[in-house]
Amino acid sequence: MSGVAGFVTATGAPPNAKLLDDLFAGIRHRGRDGEGRYVKGGVGLVHARLAIVDLKGGAQPFLGPNGTALVADGEIYNSPELRREFPGATFATQSDCEVPLHVYNRDKLEFARALRGMYAMALYDPAEASLLLSRDSFGIKPLYYVETPQGLAFASEARALLKARLVQPAIRSEGVNELLQLQFTTGRDTIYPGIKRVLPGETLVVRLGKVVARHRIASPIEGEVERMSEREGLERLGRVLADSVDVHRRADVPLGIFLSGGIDSSALLSVLARQSDNPVRAYTAFYPGAEVGDDHDYAARVTRAVGADHIMVPVTAQQFWSRLPAIVAAIDDPAADYAIVATYLLAEEAAKDVKVVLTGEGGDELFGGYGRYRSVVRSMWLGGRAMRAKGHLEGLGVLRDTGPAWRDGIVAVERRLADVPGTRLQRAQALDCADWLPNDALIKLDRCLLAHAVEGRVPLLDPMIASLSYRLPDELKIARGTGKYILRKWLDAALPAANAFGRKRAPTVPVGEWIALQGAALGPLVAGVEGIQRACLKDRVEALIRSAGRSRDKHATMGAWLLLFYALWYRIHIEGVASDGDVMSTLSARP
């Protein structure tokens, strides 16, 4: 895990050293254990290292056969197996991320097909005078780029490209409503004009500062339903879970797990505890004094059952108001998921003891856990509806533009999936994996953990698990009105204390309660932010925030949170306001 960045000039002349310095400064927080630099011809690569594997010898860039060079952010979990495929090769380190150089030497542009892991990497081949930018098939690790007249720059985070002044801090007007209605932005284009994402599973070929070709590996989220019995499904699920957790444990540093009240993290904990020689360190957020349900009692019961060391992390209203600007500052590619509050504070606490954390992201998408999936599979006359048919701010009267264009990105993916074989449930899962997962849930995880130099690993987003789970019959995903049926069934046997089929209050960050405490003072400050005024009606924004939380209207509460997030994000990332103050001072500060 680390940060990568670089520049490919349009002329073939060496990149400017100051530019590489600025790019490195924008990713430095992602890796505090070392730095590396490579310049050859018109290519410059920089790397900020977070040492996880081969602590002494794994510094980057890696140099490979025929003069190739590589910098990578991520982990290649099948590196031991891949090394055995090159019996005569000489490896300079024990690092997992050195292996792709040898795979590339053998497979060329198809090299990513052999990699099992999470990664965003840049591989330079001087013989082809090309730089390859490659990202894993789920988009677990981020990678951004911008094309300029001088050349192409890339980085692990969009803010590095802004810090290097390759683009100006501005927003695409089309992206604002998309963000406010969806809580994330879709596709290749980010909210910043000119800054683009390398798509999940994609490899770009760059020559003389231009993208000249794009290749994409097949997604694990493909294929028709495979008929199988419940017993066979449970047996196969047990095998792939054990295998995935085992390879995701590979590290030379201490490891822990984030444990929520959900099925996903409990299943991972169950497997991890069996495979570990020492008690697992499990971290759970709770909300003292809040009315919403949290994970406190459930997590305590589960950790006792497996003998884990349990660390409860309080998340309070005071922290919300004092720390939220710093949290939003970490989310440069805006993902307005209020779970960023708990995730950031959990990572801060975990960083005191461990350097790697396993989390349950991906379980809902792969096993059919979301309520929206149960709606999708119902006929329209029985209350079914399309995915994300209604925006978060729809009907609240705050937006200036109330047109449907905010769904354009979703519609494009829906059209692409319309001709793909599979059930309605499979297409809904594929839709989430195309945009929601990489552009919301995984951005949240990446930025919040890397802000504290902690590596987040997601064992459920493994090709072996995905290949099985996506192809499961619908009735093994949703049964008796319950999502994640087969995963619950497996957990019920593996860890009875989890009460996998029991009814629990859904844990959530109590943003409505907290906003209600300051609504009167907060409303005018949010409404006064330039970015809010361009997209929204000032009076309606004030009224919504004043009333949020009082009526227990979840729709209004979500709307108020999104406006607060966007106001802070705009002030910090577009106007350049410092993020070291509290919410009120950040909103009221002069740009």
* 23 within 8 A of 7, measured Cβ to Cβ: yes
Give CA separation, 288 vs 184, 216, 299, 324, 339, in Å: 29, 46, 15, 18, 16
Neighbours of 433 (CB within 10 A): 24
Check whether residue 241 and residue 176 sit in a common domain: no
In the block, which residue shows the tokens 């577009």? 574
Confidence (pLDDT) at 479: 92
The contacts of residue 8 (CB under 8 Å, 6+ apart) are: 15, 42, 43, 44, 131, 151, 152, 153, 206, 207, 208, 209
Is 478 among the domain residues? yes
Look up the pTM and report it.
Answer: 0.96
Greatest alpha-carbon span in the chain:
71
Please tell me the distance from the alpha carbon of residue 122 to that of residue 130, in angstroms, as a whole number.
Answer: 10
* 306 within 8 A of 495, measured Cβ to Cβ: yes
DSSP secondary structure code for residue 372 in this structure: H
Confidence (pLDDT) at 383: 47
Is 494 among the domain residues? yes
Mean pLDDT of successive 10-residue stretches along the chain, which has 591 residues: 93 97 97 94 96 91 95 96 93 95 96 97 97 97 98 98 96 95 97 98 97 92 90 98 97 95 94 96 90 74 95 95 98 97 98 97 94 77 67 95 94 90 91 95 98 97 95 94 94 95 73 91 96 96 87 86 98 97 95 76
Q: Helix, strand, or coil here: 99? A: helix
Check whether residue 170 and residue 260 sit in a common domain: no
Please tell me the distance from the alpha carbon of residue 92 to that of residue 119, in angstroms, as a whole number.
Answer: 20
Q: What one-character-per-residue DSSP string does 445-498 give?
A: HHHHHHTTT-EEE-TTS-HHHHHHHHHS-HHHHSBTTBSSHHHHHHHHHH-GGG
* 363 within 8 A of 244, measured Cβ to Cβ: no
* 27 within 8 A of 34, measured Cβ to Cβ: no
Is 43 among the domain residues? yes
Please tell me the distance from the alpha carbon of residue 421 to that of residue 578, in angstroms, as a whole number.
Answer: 49
Region of 568 on the Ramachandran plot (φ > 0 left; ψ -120 to 50 alpha; else beta):
alpha
Check whether residue 129 and residue 262 sit in a common domain: no
Check whether residue 163 and residue 15 sit in a common domain: yes
Confidence (pLDDT) at 119: 98
Is 505 among the domain residues? no
Which of 286, 288, 335 shows the shortest CA–CA distance to 311? 286
Domain extent, residue 105, equals 2-216
Q: Helix, strand, or coil here: 564? A: helix
In the block, which residue shows the tokens 């074989």? 421
| Beta-sheet pairing, 144-148 with 309-314 | unpaired
Please tell me the distance from the alpha carbon of residue 521 to that of residue 512, in angstroms, as a whole number.
Answer: 15
- Domain stops at, among 460, 475, 498: 498
Give CA separation, 571 vs 109, 171, 325, 334, 561, in Å: 41, 12, 10, 13, 15
Give CA separation, 94 vs 176, 284, 554, in Å: 45, 33, 50
Is 12 among the domain residues? yes
Check whether residue 107 and residue 203 sit in a common domain: yes
Q: Helix, strand, or coil here: 533? A: helix
Check whether residue 160 and residue 293 sit in a common domain: no
Please tell me the distance from the alpha carbon of residue 433 to that of residue 439, in angstroms, as a whole number.
Answer: 9
Domain count for the chain: 3
Is 441 among the domain residues? no
Check whether residue 177 and residue 151 sit in a common domain: yes
Check whether residue 286 and residue 318 sit in a common domain: yes
- Domain stops at, among 178, 194, 216: 216
Confidence (pLDDT) at 293: 60
Question: CATH number, domain at 239?
Answer: 3.40.50.620
Check whether residue 491 and residue 346 sit in a common domain: yes
Side chain identity, residue 566: Y
* 580 within 8 A of 517, measured Cβ to Cβ: no
Question: CATH number, domain at 11?
Answer: 3.60.20.10
Check whether residue 63 and residue 136 sit in a common domain: yes
Through-space distance between the first and last CA atoms of the chain, rounded to whole angstroms: 34
Is 280 among the domain residues? yes
Check whether residue 199 and residue 340 sit in a common domain: no
Give CA separation, 311 vs 258, 277, 303, 346, 352, in Å: 10, 19, 10, 10, 11
Confidence (pLDDT) at 382: 43
Helix (H) or strand (E) holding 174, with range, is helix 173-182
Q: Residue 554, class by beta-carbon neighbours within 10 Å (0-12 exposed, 13-18 middle, 19+ buried)?
A: exposed
Would you say the C-alpha torsion 548, 572, 346, 1 has a positive or negative sign?
positive
Check whether residue 13 and residue 76 sit in a common domain: yes
The contacts of residue 80 (CB under 8 Å, 6+ apart) are: none
Is 412 among the domain residues? no
Side chain identity, residue 552: R
What is the distance, to the nearest Å, from the Cα of residue 460 to the centroid of all Cα atoms in its chain? 13
Which of 388, 377, 554, 389 shows the shortest CA–CA distance to 481? 377
Confidence (pLDDT) at 381: 45
Please tell me the distance from the alpha carbon of residue 398 to that of residue 140, in angstroms, as a whole number.
Answer: 34
- Backbone φ and ψ of 27, nearest 5°: -115, 0
| Beta-sheet pairing, 255-258 with 62-63 | unpaired
User: Strands, E, within 332-454: which ranges?
Assistant: 356-358
| Beta-sheet pairing, 117-125 with 130-135 | antiparallel
Tokens of 574: 């577009």
